[in-house]
Amino acid sequence: MTESELFWEAGLDCQADQSTARLTLTFTNAIMPGAQFFPESRLNFAENCLAHARGADDIAIIAHEESGGRQIISWGQLRAAVGNLRHQLIRLGVKPHDVVAGFVSHGPEAIIGALATLSIGAIWTSCSPDFGVQGVVDRFGQTQPKVLIAAQHTRYNKKAIDLTERVKQLLEAIPSFTACILFGQADPNAAVGRAGCQIVDWLDATAGHHPLEFAATSFNHPAFILYSSGTTGVPKCIVHGHGGSLIQLVKEHRYHVDIQPGDRVFYFTTCGWMMWNWLLGTLASEATVVTYDGSPFTQGAKTLWALCEQDDWHVFGTSAKYIAAIEKHSYHPGTAHPLHSLKAVLSTGSPLAHESFDFVYRHIKSDLLLGSISGGTDILSCFCLSCPIRPVHRGELQCAGLGLAVDVVNEQGESVIGEKGELVCRLPFPVMPLHFFGDTTGEKYRAAYFERFPGIWAHGDFAEHTEHDGFVIYGRADATLNPGGVRIGTAEIYRQVESVPEVLESLAIGQRTGDDERVVLFVVLQDALALTGELRLRIKQQIREHTTPRHVPDVIAQVPDLPRTVSGKIVELAVRQVVHGETVKNTEALANPDALNYFKDHPDVHL
């Protein structure tokens, strides 16, 4: 038995000791793609999240709304709600392998809905209410869900948003829906979209005294469908299994973040981003999940930190952009709040700048674990992340995930240290996608990960394996710049540009000029400032002094906003397409598609 097999068997065995999971430890190895882990094992993701030692009166969920609402749900209440909703879903005809879709905000309903679905052996998929209708249809429409669980209202940045019309349109556009469970409205019949679709009120669906039971699903039974960003076409529907998702997430929570039973874990996310699934999985480590629905700045920069102090959070998860934003606001959480319980700050979504490491340790807390983590929807987890027993080096992700053969390779597929290259994984791992929904031949799956280096997972990140055995992520490989044939990661430029006080955010692309390309940098400035010649020179000087002359943009242009996905990631590829006069195939994947208009025929980038 290989070391990889031994590691994952030990991880599954450890989880079996702490739950009622039914397991047969078997491992089938194969060259990727095609590897299968523990095909004869039986377990259920939801069972591991609920059937453990936490007492009925212990707190399972703390749910916040930006309006100030705060809800406490005990483990007893959570188990009861899941059992009752499970009964309702079965009554509505949901069976193993059926899909239940959640058009849900980041609150307890999403958690209850997912766990009830998984307990049956059905498949959970979700989108957040900030998706447009077509964006949701592009996702849910591919997976043919049977039941829709939907919010009727949400709120963002002090603005109430009525979702009734969107729900109607979803029910009309996706004929596979036979029922809809609604929450957040007194009159559920107002959302009926078409005949033949039963409407159920959430309060009725979660009431009663029905037993909490769990289907003994196989290790590789589908549990979640997540979606690629969809900015270059219709989103890929990525299917993850019960077992792989469970043991990979439990490993990360317990060993890479040191989450203990009773710890309060917060991640600022939406239900359309894989970090929501990551947060859901902390229940299997007997942690308390903290949710927040709304803008992280609705009460200014203090918004989330006041809640962190109030609730005694142990883990604060966010994005690199959020940390940079509170720094730009000159807000120092550690001065404003004692933060006695806080032991870890986690950051993902984009590379965390070196200066942000300094800011966290100087102005949030000096004795916590700062984990810059990186992975993605494709693996429902992380390839590179934190380690509580290793030093933190500014600008670096501390280590590769335990049990993962993560490497950085050059163009020939050879391992390199201290050089930039492609982030890969050389050996199978249990949280590889089971398949893409609807990809019956597996052609799209193989093309996504295995065409670049046969038999090796190519993740699509431009990275470096450091002498500390850590990692640096320089951006997406398909968004790297290539002036004069030299590959440059966009994160290297962003780090320098966003250290300039006047700059809020930036985005860089390569613009074709004959047989070469030039670097074009777009900047969003503070407080409606204008981009002057002097500021252009300072930005270029900052980049030249701290990187190389190759990194210095040929053009710097001002725009009022940058296009981003609903999970907050800026989309360099879409901007590159617009600048080159190409069509962006799926603007519904963007939270602010109108921002693309700022780049179309921009006077500063005409050749």
Q: What tens digit of pLDDT does each residue of 245-299 get?
A: 999 999 999 999 999 999 999 999 999 999 999 999 999 999 999 999 999 999 9
The C-alpha atoms of residue 474 and residue 490 are separated, in whole angstroms, by: 6
- What is the pLDDT, as a whole number, of residue 193? 59
- What is the pLDDT, as a whole number, of residue 253? 98
Q: How far apart are the first and last CA of the chain?
A: 60
CB 371 within 8 A of CB 386: yes
Alpha carbon 286 to its chain centroid, in Å, reads 21
pLDDT in tens, 52-102: 999 999 999 999 999 999 999 999 999 999 999 999 999 999 999 999 999
Token pair belonging to 515: 């047989």
Neighbours of 549 (CB within 10 A): 8
Residues contacting 141, CB < 8 A, separation 6+: 173, 174
- What is the pLDDT, as a whole number, of residue 22? 44
E strands in 367-502 = 369-372, 374-376, 381-385, 399-400, 406-409, 420-425, 435-436, 457-465, 471-476
Q: Which residues of the chain have pLDDT under 50?
A: 17-25, 186
In whole angstroms, how far apart are CA 73 and each of 153, 176, 206, 471?
Answer: 21, 33, 13, 39
CB 439 within 8 A of CB 235: no
Dihedral of the alpha carbons of 508, 226, 591, 568, in degrees to the nearest 10: -50
CB 356 within 8 A of CB 328: no
Task: Classify residue 521 as exposed, middle or buried by CB count within 10 Å of its CB (0-12, 13-18, 19+).
Answer: buried
**For residue 294, what is the DSSP state?**
S
The C-alpha atoms of residue 21 and residue 14 are separated, in whole angstroms, by: 11
- What is the pLDDT, as a whole number, of residue 25? 43
The C-alpha atoms of residue 87 and residue 501 are separated, in whole angstroms, by: 56
- 28 φ, ψ (degrees, to nearest 5): -115, 115
The C-alpha atoms of residue 581 and residue 421 are separated, in whole angstroms, by: 30
Average pLDDT value over all residues in the chain: 91
Positive or negative: CA dihedral 311, 312, 316, 322:
positive
- What is the pLDDT, as a whole number, of residue 94? 98
- What is the pLDDT, as a whole number, of residue 190? 57
Q: Element (H or E) spanning 573, and its range?
A: helix 572-579
Tokens 């400032």 locate to 529
- Which residues make beta-bridge pairs with 199? 180
> Could you give the residue ranges of the DSSP H alpha helices within 329-432?
333-336, 354-363
Q: Please report, as a single letter, which amino acid is at residue 473.
A: I
Domains annotated on the chain, with CATH = 3-463 (3.40.50.12780), 480-605 (3.30.300.30)
DSSP string, 208-273: S--------EETTSEEEEEE---TTSSPPEEEEEHHHHHHHHHHIIIIIS---TT-EEEE---TTS
**For residue 177, what is the DSSP state?**
-
- Which residues make beta-bridge pairs with 465? 471
In whole angstroms, how far apart are CA 164 and each of 132, 157, 190?
Answer: 13, 19, 8
The C-alpha atoms of residue 137 and residue 122 are separated, in whole angstroms, by: 20
- Which residues make beta-bridge pairs with 473? 463
Residue 377's nearest CA partner among 595, 506, 565, 138 is 565
The C-alpha atoms of residue 545 and residue 507 are separated, in whole angstroms, by: 19
Tokens 């196989």 locate to 218
- What is the pLDDT, as a whole number, of residue 21? 44
